A and B are shown apart, each in its own frame.
Chain A
Amino acid sequence: MTGGPADMNRIGGGEARLNAMRGDVFAACAVLAMALWVFFGAWPDWLAGALISKKTFVSAVLNGLTLSGLYFLVASGFTLIFGLMRNVNLAHGSLYLFGAYVGYEASTRSDVWLLGVAAGALATAVVGLAMQILVFRRLEGDDLRQTLVTIGISIVAADLMLATWGGGAYQVTPPDALSGAVTLPIATGVTSSGTAVFLRYPFYRLIVAAIAIAIGCLLWLLLARTRIGMTIRAGVDDRAMLEASGVNAQIVFAGVFALGAGLAGLAGVIGGSAFAISPGEDIHYLLASLVVVIVGGMGSIAGAVIGSLLIGLSEQIGLVYFPTYSVVLTFLIMVATLAVRPRGIMGKAR
């Protein structure tokens, strides 16, 4: 994953600059070597002392990667929609929560987890399509009112979901094959008899990160290697020219909106199998998407990768080492990014 962001063209990015890429590759190799040592090497006492224990730190990093994966799934849809249509969908967190609830209902009733995932993604994709057709198409060109309408939708949606599913917490049960803990080849200590103790970690959380990487790769393939992706990238760069060349932009918009909304629902079911589904999670994931795209850069998939890694890792590591100030860390990352690059790390000036 470390090498991924550098190759992954931002939607509509220009030609690759070889020299810059070579520098990136070197940096990536250095980071990778460091990461390998941190995970697999034996820690000196001073380091373990400074970070409580190796087990604590490695678990926090793994938790951070899981959360990053989830944040990426939610934020990629958000950034995709913004990149193409310039509209900020502040109901994106509500789509996450709605997808999670639908996934819960479908998977508990059918006992098939994958069916729940499909139902959650499909349901939010349909809702997204309806939003695009009923709301955004009618208020096209009026950014502020579009954003206000999505706020209204999120208020109503949160209240209706509270009415339907109540204030309790739900959790989707992942299939048996994916649950339980696995032993990782990461030694965290040595017993008195001299055998190494290996870290055990919930298998499903690793699956979440794997799914996020897989979806990220698929998105990249779709955007960079297919005709549909080419159309979308063209639309990001110059909407008027795309329409002039005979493409029905409204169909592209509707498709991208459905895709982005579907990703939020998918993330809802996948996240709802690892964490609790309850009212308030919509705000949590909306905030996550906002910060991820503000840090990473609006409209950039590579930015969403970088942003979600930064935010997910800092949130989990912060939670372990300075629990009452972890939000401040996230916030400081956002402010620092804005001070240096107002459009985000991968954002381009418009």
Chain B
Amino acid sequence: MSEFAGKDRIAARSVGRSEVGAGHALFGLALLAYPAVASDFFLTQIGGLSLIEGMIALSLMTLAGYGGMVSLAQLSVAGIAGYVVAILGHNDTGVQGYDWPWAVTVPLAILAAAATSALIGWISARTSGIYTIMITLAIATAVFYFAQQNYVIFNGHSGFAGIPAPVFFGEDWRAPVPFYYLCLFAAAASYAGVLYVRRSTFGLTVQGMRDNERRMRALGFSVILHKVFAWFLSGIVAGIAGVLLVWFHGRISPSSIDVAASLNILVMAVIGGLRHPIGPFVGALVVVLLQTFASDLVGAERFNTLIGLTFLIIVYISDDGILGLWRQFAPRFDHADRSAG
């Protein structure tokens, strides 16, 4: 999508140490030390959830920011992973639930999510820009309606409940502190993965396709293949997040992947900013905080209005979410951000 193109051209490959600078180290330490000061509620309901939803938004951001493909189907991809865990692993619903060990179901779930993502990518790869938004929105809606009306596989409207988080290394990973560290590890790994891939030959090629698809095709690159692989990679991130999400809630149903929830993921990514992988996490934190404390501001009922209005205002005043505002008002960080973004 050309909107992103002009702003951050492919940076030189030799980025040097700015990549893993002092900012990252400080920020990482703060996140590691967070359990020391946070209550259980802030640890899981705010910290854990922000990290998980941030990962789904990150999966959207990588496709949108580096590939120019805004996908509204990433929550559906995460939902596929969640459903695989619920169906193949243990659940208390009495439907499906084959009690396979987590070491088998989790890789399968992530693989299924990545494969679904690649399939969606293949379907939408011939289109670009707003066409991709429309097609992925149609796919997300279709997945939701399908999960809702199909009782054989997805157990219809009620979905699955009583899905336990695994116990290994002598830890119950559902407990607040271990679960937070699990989320933090997964999120940090995904974030680092995105940083690595965008500097790889593959990542630069995809960014080249975003900026000028015809030229890349003329140079001999297979555009479809690169795009589908980018979708596959982002599907892995969404899949990991989907597994964590189903452990977090302990249940999954069509309402976990409905259109409002899918749009919410887009809202997070856009509020945060689509040009740097930290954006989705910032956006997720803002949205989770708004959701949690909306009852004090506008009453629990109207939090969608609050989030919608916040989203509208940010889209209106900034061309790249909160990160865009940050760049506007803190010009001395501009250079560092540019070279990193």
Contacts and interface: CB of A to CB of B under 8 A. Distances in A.
Nearest to A344: B131
A149 B126 CA distance: 25
Interface stretch (A42-50, A174-182, A286-294): A286-294
A63 interface: no
B175 to A, nearest CB: 35
A154 B137 CA distance: 14
A290 B138 contact: yes
B328 interface: no
Contacts of A111: none
B146 A328 contact: yes
B304 A327 contact: no
Contacts of B267: 151-152, 155
Given A149-B315, A325-B150, A327-B149, A159 B134 contact: no
B12 to A, nearest CB: 27
A153 B305 CA distance: 9
Nearest to A145: B315
A303 to B, nearest CB: 14
Given A290-B138, A323-B149, A327-B145, A144 B311 contact: no
Nearest to A323: B149
Interface string A132-154: 00000000001111011101111
Given A152-B312, A283-B259, A143 B266 contact: no
Interface stretch (A67-75, A201-209, A269-277, A329-337): A329-337
Interface in A33-90: 86-88, 90
B260 interface: yes
Interface in B130-159: 130-131, 133-135, 137-139, 141-142, 145-146, 149-152
Contacts of A145: 3, 315, 319
B123 interface: yes
A88 B133 CA distance: 9
Contacts of A287: 137-138, 141-142, 145
| B contact patch SS | helix
A144 B302 contact: no
A330 B139 CA distance: 10
B222 interface: no
B272 to A, nearest CB: 13
B296 interface: no
A326 B149 contact: yes
Given A144-B3, A163-B302, A334 B138 contact: yes
A155 B134 contact: no
A143 B149 CA distance: 34
B177 interface: no
B135 A149 contact: no
A229 interface: no
A342 B128 CA distance: 10
Interface string A309-350: 000000000000001111110110011001100100000000
B130 to A, nearest CB: 5
B139 A159 contact: no
Given A143-B129, A287-B141, A294-B138, A327 B146 contact: yes
A28 B239 CA distance: 47
Interface in A194-217: none
Interface in B162-184: none
B138 A148 contact: no
Contacts of B309: 152, 156
Contacts of B137: 90, 286-287, 290
B305 A156 contact: yes
B151 A324 contact: yes
B130 A147 contact: yes
Contacts of A87: 130
Given A148-B270, A149-B315, A291-B138, A160 B305 contact: yes
Contact of B126 (A86, A88, A331, A342): A342
A158 interface: yes
Interface string B240-272: 000000000000000000011001001100100
A112 B149 CA distance: 37
B70 interface: yes
B127 A342 contact: yes
Q: Which of A87, A145, A156 has most chain B Cβ within 10 Å?
A: A156
Given A291-B138, A324-B152, A327-B145, A144 B70 contact: yes
Q: Which of A143, A144, A148, A154 has most chain B Cβ within 10 Å?
A: A144
A142 B150 CA distance: 39
B138 A149 contact: no
B28 interface: no
Nearest to A334: B138
Given A287-B137, A338-B135, 17 more contacts: A144-B1, A147-B130, A149-B312, A151-B266, A151-B311, A152-B315, A154-B263, A155-B307, A283-B259, A286-B141, A324-B150, A327-B146, A331-B138, A331-B146, A335-B123, A338-B127, A342-B126
Interface of B: 1, 3, 70, 123-124, 126-127, 129-131, 133-135, 137-139, 141-142, 145-146, 149-152, 259-260, 263, 266-267, 270, 301-302, 304-305, 307-309, 311-312, 315-316, 319
Interface of A: 86-88, 90, 142-145, 147-149, 151-156, 158-160, 163, 283, 286-287, 290-291, 293-294, 298, 323-328, 330-331, 334-335, 338-339, 342
30 contacts: A143-B1, A144-B1, A144-B3, A144-B129, A145-B3, A145-B319, A151-B267, A152-B312, A155-B307, A155-B308, A156-B305, A156-B309, A156-B312, A158-B304, A159-B302, A159-B305, A163-B301, A163-B305, A283-B259, A286-B137, A287-B142, A290-B141, A291-B138, A293-B134, A324-B150, A325-B146, A327-B142, A338-B126, A338-B135, A339-B123
